[in-house]
């Protein structure tokens, strides 16, 4: 999990949908069944950076991870570290953080209006990323920086997130081949990276599949769980 899994700044005690709990349960199930899980910190869950190196069973929190994949080394990190070093353009470097979030908010508002008046939904951030010269430069610069550092350290793969731009691309630098990979996001692209049989690919989720999955299992509400506990205690009190 390559950063920004939980948006701690947006965290709200009163808003914790069952679908979120389901994801946590799923990850817990992986931990219990012995799957190795790395939680890499991002800028939205930067509070967890305090717990860098925390390990419980096969679950580990880190800022970066190096994995051996078929004798080659893959370097994983979120990517917000470049926000400081690139200093390319102030508003663009913040695109991965505040600026992008604002764009998504504005976008959902525009889509809300568009749907009301019978128009088609649109992706503002995709339009901006693909048409604004600076945005394209920002993405290129991000990719280049990652590839340069990966090449000088002898990593074959460099795997990032942060810039909401899914991509798999081969680079050649001073005779060294480096594959740049970006997992994209689950805000608008709904993408993840998969590595199967020594082959990388980008998984794209079909948004129409969400409903089917989320409502198949009947979960108990917090109130139901509390009442269950209450019953247990009441049973204890009986003479
Ligand atoms: Mn980020």
| Any domain includes 166 | yes
| Structural domain total, the chain | 2
| Any domain includes 115 | yes
Does residue 104 share a domain with residue 128?
A: yes
- For residue 216, the model assigns a pLDDT of 41
Token pair, residue 5, equals 């899994």
Distance 72 CA to ligand 1 centre (A): 26
**Measured CA distances, 113 to 30, 108, 109 (Å):** 41, 9, 6
Range of the domain at 12: 1-62+206-239
| Any domain includes 71 | no
pLDDT of 16 higher than 70: yes
Distance 46 CA to ligand 1 centre (A): 9
Torsion of CA 17, 20, 26, 31, to 10 degrees: -120
Query: What are the tens digits of pLDDT across the range 90-131?
Result: 555 555 555 666 777 777 788 888 888 887 777 776 776 666
pTM beyond 0.85, yes or no: no
Percentage of residues of the chain with pLDDT beyond 90? 38
Distance 62 CA to ligand 1 centre (A): 15
Classify residue 94 by burial, with Cβ atoms within 10 Å: 0-12, 13-18, 19+: middle
Distance 216 CA to ligand 1 centre (A): 31
Does residue 167 share a domain with residue 93?
A: yes
Does residue 109 share a domain with residue 133?
A: yes
Distance 164 CA to ligand 1 centre (A): 8
Does residue 128 share a domain with residue 81?
A: yes
Does residue 84 share a domain with residue 135?
A: yes
Distance 104 CA to ligand 1 centre (A): 14
Query: What are the tens digits of pLDDT across the range 67-87?
Result: 999 899 999 999 988 876 665
Does residue 189 share a domain with residue 86?
A: yes
Mean predicted confidence (pLDDT) in 166-181? 95
Give the 3-state secondary structure of 54-101. CEECCEEEECEEEEEECCEEEEEECCCCHHHHHCCCHHHHHHHCHHHH
- For residue 160, the model assigns a pLDDT of 96
Last residue of a domain, one of 195, 214, 230: 195
| Any domain includes 88 | yes
Distance 71 CA to ligand 1 centre (A): 29
Does residue 127 share a domain with residue 83?
A: yes
| Any domain includes 224 | yes
- For residue 96, the model assigns a pLDDT of 52
Q: Under a CB-based contact definition with an 8 Å cutoff, are residues 87 and 145 in contact?
A: no
Distance 44 CA to ligand 1 centre (A): 6
Query: What are the tens digits of pLDDT across the range 27-68?
Result: 888 988 989 999 999 988 888 999 999 998 899 999 999 999
Distance 162 CA to ligand 1 centre (A): 4
Q: Is the four-CA dihedral 122, 184, 206, 169 of positive or negative sign?
A: positive
| 141 CB-side CA count, 13 A | 16
């Amino acid at each position: 999990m390559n950063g920004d899994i939980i948006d701690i700044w947006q965290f709200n005690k009163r808003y914790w949908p069952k679908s979120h709990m389901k994801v946590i349960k799923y990850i817990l199930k992986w931990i219990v069944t012995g799957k190795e899980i790395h939680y890499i910190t991002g800028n939205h869950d930067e509070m967890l950076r305090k717990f860098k190196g925390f390990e419980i069973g096969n679950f580990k929190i880190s800022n970066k991870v190096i994995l051996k994949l078929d004798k080659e080394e893959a370097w994983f990190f979120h990517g917000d570290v470049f926000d400081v070093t690139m200093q390319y353009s102030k508003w663009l470097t913040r695109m991965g953080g505040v600026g992008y979030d604002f764009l998504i908010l504005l976008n959902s508002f525009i889509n809300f209006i568009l749907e009301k008046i019978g128009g088609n939904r649109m992706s503002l951030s995709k339009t901006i990323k693909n048409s604004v010269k600076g945005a394209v430069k920002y993405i290129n610069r991000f990719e280049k920086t990652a590839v340069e550092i990966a090449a000088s350290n002898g990593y074959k793969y460099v795997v990032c997130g942060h810039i909401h731009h899914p991509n798999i691309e081969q680079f050649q630098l001073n005779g060294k081949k480096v594959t740049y990979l970006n997992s994209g996001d689950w805000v608008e692209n709904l993408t993840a990276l998969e590595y199967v049989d020594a082959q990388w690919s980008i998984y794209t989720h079909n948004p129409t599949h969400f409903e089917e999955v989320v409502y198949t299992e009947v979960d108990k509400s917090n109130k139901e769980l509390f009442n269950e506990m209450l019953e247990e205690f009441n049973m204890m009190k009986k003479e």
